């Protein structure tokens, strides 16, 4: 966690803008810094009294040179240093996560599989440190950070150089952290302290991770050192077959004789668990939530200073466009809803009492992934729809195009309209590569003033950097994964993204509220189906947390991808019913929701049943049949046919298409209305791209679907979660989630 800078702290160091303090010690201060490209770093600045010591400078210089040779994905890399500066400094990549010590203290011991995976990754980190000619000498839970893509070993050979903790200069000197030292370190046998000492420390660290307590207890340093040399490690709590491999590994690492310990390469080879690449799935949900909270703190950091551009900006815009960011490291965790997890209690309180208030010419390009975006010779101002019109999201994409088209037709037909707008349409087929190509065509047409779309999350993520570079406003109507919210926040100098809906993670709060408020629902079951990946994992975890933090209890269960095609949901549903649950919530795809609904009906389950937006799909109704009756669902889109304020829109839509509007049609109509109002705010012609984006963020709208408002960063702050219930084989809108009945 960061602390504010103090008056005596510098504002910048070594090309880093300093954002806060990460820690301080006798040697110096560690700051959180940001490079000009946007990358975060931990920047260590040496204090003046040490900087004036030639011997210290020589040691610091040597340590930096060694550390730069460490190459491992599981060891934090050195990104810069100046050992000759007035205030010597060094920077390393910043890991936005808690230490292992904090994770175990707050969330409890790790399960056996997680311990083994952690052991394998850290063994590889130590192997790299040893290959670089270093001995870490302080492998402790505090020096392992849990990041969204794996753990990182930090402080190798540098952090305590001035205090002798990493440079062993004399026989009999005890260095490191008591309780996590090898016997040879505990006795000050300097000549015998080498790479094997790190392996012993790793064993202590893993024992702590597996049991929740250090293997040689706690207390006075002298007592810890004595036990390390003379006593056997305390591995209580690791009984049972599931811990067999862990105990064997720990006893090998904790051999008193350095020659009896395996080297890191042998440890790596002996562990059978595979390393999950770039994921958090190997960690318990509680630890993932803690990691998310740490990562979300980074989302509130000060923005990147704008850089000066020479000449006009892309797409004909003015100079001074945003610098292209050089980081995406937090997106993996943000895909799991980091910001919402950290702010879950606030989100719950905010949504639990909020209800909705009532409110009062075409060109196509790229339909097959190519072709110009409209007629470059027409010269008039244009707005664009960037949608999936032919791929898996075509139903939503087509509804969005229809909604925007209707708003534009009304605008152009209105008497006194200051100018006529042309609609340009790009179809990306739901393919991210095509989405980037479509975005490039639209961005390259200076007549296009704003884009509504894309339809899907992957396409939106691919298109956003292109629109960002061109300063072309992008109004995202249907993308809801939290990766897009994180993208905007992490860009921090983003000037183009406007989300017109809450992210998917916000759907967790009304679901948790219903579990708490439903009559007779005192012990709900929450089934997470990983067929939808990290999004269902984070949503289910947040629901469990919100219920428990507000005095309730849940019975959570998880099924892996493919359960529908293999053993089915019968066993897990039976186990949950046998546990005495009185309500059921399912987080997964519509096919899974249908199968679960049939299982609950067959078992005669009488309690309330809930699910979320992915199941708000005809597939759920078709496959579940009568078992779908009575299910309650939460969604970010509404049914305008059920809203009095949307009567004119629904009539106009039916006149054009012969049927009622589908999901996202009303929201797209509102997004276009918001855009058109902003384009006509001035007395002259429409504003250019760069001026339009801040106007959109300052706008509010009482739309046909809901009321809209936005943060200065372009994040959605209006209303927008709705409840549906299945009645007589159809989804029936109940109203905003704040008024479920």
- Is the domain of 67 the same as that of 135? no
Reported as a single tens digit per residue, the pLDDT across 648-684 is: 999 999 999 999 999 999 999 999 999 999 998 865 6
- Whether 456 and 444 map to the same domain: the answer is yes
Q: Which residues carry out catalysis?
A: 138
Say whether pLDDT at 577 is over 80: yes
Angle between helices 432-443 and 457-470 (to 10 degrees): 30
Q: What pLDDT, in 10s, does the model give residues 506-531?
A: 888 889 988 888 766 689 999 999 88
- 83 and 180 share one domain: no
Other C-beta atoms lying within 10 Å of the C-beta of residue 97: 28
59: enclosing H helix or E strand: helix 54-67
195, 200, 201, 203: CA torsion to nearest 10: 130
| Residue in this structure with the two tokens 């392992």, named with its chain if needed | 144
Q: Where is average pLDDT lowest: 27-31, 201-205, 327-331, 702-706? A: 327-331
Query: What pLDDT, on a 0 to 100 scale, did the predictor assign at position 316?
Result: 33
Beta bridge partners of 384: 424, 451
- State which H helix or E strand residue 570 sits in: helix 570-578
**Residue 68: its pLDDT value, please?**
85
Q: Per-residue confidence at 221, pLDDT binned at 50, 70, 90? A: confident
**730-736 and 722-727: which strand pairing?**
antiparallel
Residue 528 and residue 597 share a domain: yes
Average pLDDT estimate for 174-183:
82
pLDDT digits (tens, 9 = 90+) for 125-166: 999 999 888 888 889 999 999 988 889 998 754 433 333 333
- Cβ atoms of 166 and 63 within 8 Å: the answer is yes
Alpha-helical runs (H) found in 187-298: 195-211, 221-230, 244-253, 264-270, 285-297
219 to 106, 226, 376: CA distances (angstroms)? 20, 11, 77
Which H or E run contains 111? none
Q: Tell me what pLDDT residue 483 has.
A: 53
Q: In terms of residue numbers, what domain contains 670?
A: 357-502+646-709
Q: Tell me the pLDDT tens digit for each residue of 7-46.
A: 888 989 998 999 889 887 667 889 999 887 667 899 989 8
CA-based nearest residue to 674, from 653, 705, 637: 705
Lookup: tokens for 578:
């046998």
For residues 500 and 523, the answer to whether their CB atoms sit within 8 Å is no
Q: How many domains does the chain have?
A: 4
Q: What residues have CB less than 8 Å from 606, skipping those under 6 apart?
A: none
Separation between Cα atoms, residue 426 and residue 535, nearest integer Å: 28
Between these two residues, 55 and 596, which has the higher pLDDT value?
A: 596
Q: What percent of the chain has pLDDT over 90?
A: 49
Which residues have C-beta within 8 Å of that of residue 24, sequence separation ≥ 6?
Answer: 30
At 427, which CATH number? 3.40.50.2300
The DSSP element (H or E) to which 548 belongs, if any, is helix 534-549
Residue 724: per-residue pLDDT? 96
Rounded to whole angstroms, the Cα distance separating 586 from 599 reads 12
Distance separating alpha carbons of residues 94 and 99, to the nearest angstrom: 12
Looking at the domain assignment, is residue 482 inside a domain? yes
Assigned domain for 641 exists: no
Cα(273)–Cα(275) distance, rounded to whole angstroms?
A: 7
d(CA 738, CA 719): 10
Is the previous residue joined to 641 through a cis bond, with omega within 30 degrees of 0? no
Work out the angle between the directed axes of helices 647-657 and 394-413 (0-180°, nearest 10). 110
The helix/strand/coil state of 87 is coil
Task: Give the Cα separation of 731 and 739 in Å (integer).
Answer: 17
Helices (H) and strands (E) in the chain, counts: 25, 23
Same domain, yes or no: 448 and 566: no
Residue 536 belongs to a domain: yes
321 is a domain residue: no
Is residue 62 located within the same domain as residue 162? Answer: no
- Other CB atoms within 10 Å distance of the CB of residue 228: 27
**Residue 360: per-residue pLDDT:** 33
Tokens linked to 33: 């810094």
pLDDT tens digit sequence for 689-725: 989 989 999 999 999 999 999 888 777 887 789 999 9
For 615, residues 6+ apart whose C-beta sits below 8 A from its C-beta are: 586, 588, 589, 590, 593, 631, 633
Across 173-177, 220-224, 237-241, 371-375, which has the greatest mean pLDDT? 237-241
**Mean pLDDT lowest for which of 112-116, 546-550, 616-620, 702-706?**
546-550
CATH number for the domain spanning 117: value is 1.10.510.10
- Out of 64, 93, 122, a domain closes at 93
- DSSP-H helix ranges across 603-687: 618-624, 647-657, 665-679
DSSP state of 584: E
Evaluate whether residue 329 is within a structural domain. no
Indicate if 483 and 592 belong to the same structural domain. Answer: no
Per-residue pLDDT tens digits for 589-627: 999 999 999 999 999 999 999 999 999 999 999 999 999
- pLDDT tier, 405 (very low <50, low <70, confident <90, very high otherwise): very high
- Same domain as 106, residue 49: no
Among candidates 249, 274, 265, which has minimal Cα distance to 131?
Answer: 265
Query: Are the beta carbons of 501 and 477 closer than 8 angstroms?
Result: yes
pLDDT at 366 over 70: no
* CA atoms of 186 and 229, how far apart (whole Å): 7
Instruction: Give the domain CATH number at 84.
Output: 3.30.200.20
Answer whether residue 323 is part of any domain.
no
* Whether residue 124 has pLDDT greater than 80: yes
What are the distances in angstroms from CA 616 to CA 79, 82, 207, 590?
47, 57, 46, 7
Instruction: Average the pLDDT over 432-443 and give the result.
Output: 96
| 110/230 same-domain check | yes
In the numeric block, the tokens 């399912």 are attached to 586
Distance CA 287, CA 280 (A): 9
For residues 699 and 716, give the distance between their C-alpha atoms in angstroms, rounded to a whole number.
Answer: 11
Interval 560-583 mean pLDDT:
91
What's the pLDDT score for residue 122?
A: 96
CB 445 within 8 Å of CB 382: yes
Cis (ω within 30 of 0) for the bond into 85? no
- E-only strand ranges, 530-582: 555-559
361-370 mean pLDDT: 43
pLDDT band, very low/low/confident/very high, at 214 (cuts 50, 70, 90): very high
Q: Domain for residue 2, yes or no? A: no
Q: What is the mean pLDDT of the chain?
A: 82
Task: Taking the CA atoms of 445, 451, 456 and 460 in sequence, report the sign of the dihedral they define.
Answer: positive
Residue given tokens 């040179």 in the structure block: 65
What is the CA angle 107-112-114, rounded to 5?
65
Whether residue 494 is found in the same domain as residue 512: no
Q: Which of 240, 265, 280 is the last residue of a domain?
A: 280
The pairing of beta strand 474-476 with beta strand 497-499: parallel
* Cα distance between residue 615 and residue 634, in whole Å: 9
Q: Are residues 553 and 491 in the same domain?
A: no
CB 460 within 8 A of CB 396: no
588 within some domain? yes
Whether residue 731 is found in the same domain as residue 606: yes
Containing H/E element for 283? Answer: none
Q: What percent of the chain has pLDDT over 70?
A: 81
User: What is the per-residue burial (b if ≥16 Cβ within 10 Å, else e) of 459-477?
Assistant: bbbbbbbbbbbbbbbbbbb
């Amino acid at each position: 966690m960061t602390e504010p800078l103090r008056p005596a702290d510098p504002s910048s160091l070594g090309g880093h803008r300093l954002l806060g303090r990460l820690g301080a010690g006798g040697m110096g201060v560690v700051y959180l810094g940001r490079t000009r490209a946007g990358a975060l770093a931990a920047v260590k600045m040496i204090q003046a009294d040490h900087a004036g010591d030639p011997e210290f400078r020589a040691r610091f210089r040597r340590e930096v040179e060694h550390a730069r040779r460490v190459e491992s994905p599981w060891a934090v890399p050195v990104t810069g240093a100046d050992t000759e500066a007035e205030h010597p400094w060094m920077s390393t990549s910043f890991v936005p996560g808690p230490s292992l010590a904090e994770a175990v203290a707050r969330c409890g011991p790790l399960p056996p599989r997680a311990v083994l995976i952690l052991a394998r990754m850290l063994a590889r980190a130590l192997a790299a440190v040893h290959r670089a000619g270093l001995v870490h000498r302080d492998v402790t839970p505090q020096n392992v950070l849990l990041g969204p893509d794996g753990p990182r070993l930090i402080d190798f050979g540098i952090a305590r150089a001035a205090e002798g903790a990493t440079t062993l200069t004399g026989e009999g000197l005890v260095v490191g952290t008591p309780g996590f030292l090898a016997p040879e370190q505990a006795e000050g046998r300097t000549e015998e302290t080498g790479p094997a000492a790190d392996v012993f420390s790793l064993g202590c660290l893993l024992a702590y991770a597996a049991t929740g307590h250090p293997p040689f207890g706690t207390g006075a340093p002298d007592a810890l050192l004595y036990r390390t040399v003379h006593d056997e490690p305390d591995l209580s709590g690791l009984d049972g077959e599931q811990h067999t491999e862990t105990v064997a590994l720990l006893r090998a690492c904790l051999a008193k004789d350095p020659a009896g310990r395996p080297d890191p390469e042998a440890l790596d080879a002996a562990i059978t668990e595979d390393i999950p690449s770039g994921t958090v799935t190997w960690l318990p949900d509680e630890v993932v939530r803690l990691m998310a909270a740490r990562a979300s703190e980074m989302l509130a950091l000060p923005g990147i200073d704008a850089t000066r551009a020479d000449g006009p900006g892309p797409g004909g815009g003015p100079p001074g466009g945003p610098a292209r960011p050089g980081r995406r490291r937090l997106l993996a965790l943000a895909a799991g809803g980091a910001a919402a997890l950290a702010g879950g209690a606030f989100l719950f309180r905010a949504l639990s009492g909020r209800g909705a208030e009532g409110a009062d010419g075409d060109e196509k390009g790229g339909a097959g992934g190519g072709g110009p975006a409209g007629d470059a010779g027409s010269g008039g101002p244009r707005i664009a729809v960037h949608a999936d019109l032919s791929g898996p999201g075509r139903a939503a994409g087509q509804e969005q195009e229809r909604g925007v088209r209707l708003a534009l037709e009304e605008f152009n037909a209105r008497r006194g309209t200051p100018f006529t707008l042309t609609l340009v349409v790009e179809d990306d087929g739901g393919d991210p590569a095509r989405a980037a190509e479509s975005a490039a065509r639209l961005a390259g047409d200076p007549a296009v003033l704003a884009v509504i779309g894309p339809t899907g999350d992957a396409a939106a993520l691919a298109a956003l950097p292109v629109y960002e570079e061109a300063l072309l406003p992008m109004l995202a109507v249907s993308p809801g994964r939290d990766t897009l919210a994180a993208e905007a926040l992490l860009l921090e100098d983003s000037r183009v993204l406007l989300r017109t809906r809450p992210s998917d993670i916000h759907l967790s709060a009304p679901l948790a509220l219903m579990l708490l408020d439903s009559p007779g629902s005192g012990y709900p079951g929450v089934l997470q189906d990983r067929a939808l990946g990290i999004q269902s994992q984070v949503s289910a975890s947040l629901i469990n947390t919100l219920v428990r933090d507000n005095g309730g209890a849940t019975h959570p269960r998880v099924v892996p991808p493919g359960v529908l095609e293999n053993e089915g949901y019968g066993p897990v549903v039976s186990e949950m019913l046998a546990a005495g649950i009185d309500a059921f919530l399912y987080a997964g795809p519509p096919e899974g929701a249908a199968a679960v609904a049939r299982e609950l009906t067959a078992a005669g389950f009488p309690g309330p049943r809930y699910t979320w937006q992915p199941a708000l799909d005809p597939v759920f109704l078709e496959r579940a049949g009568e078992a779908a009756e009575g299910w309650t669902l939460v969604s970010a889109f509404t049914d305008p046919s059920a809203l009095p304020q949307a009567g004119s829109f629904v009539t106009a839509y039916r006149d054009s298409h012969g049927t009622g509007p589908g999901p996202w049609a009303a929201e797209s109509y509102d997004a276009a209305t918001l855009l058109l109002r902003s384009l006509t705010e001035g007395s002259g012609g429409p504003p250019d791209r760069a001026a339009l984006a801040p106007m959109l963020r300052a706008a509010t709208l009482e739309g046909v679907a809901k009321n809209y408002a936005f943060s200065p960063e372009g994040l959605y702050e209006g209303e927008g979660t709705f409840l549906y219930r299945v009645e007589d084989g159809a989804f029936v809108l109940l109203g905003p989630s704040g008024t479920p009945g």
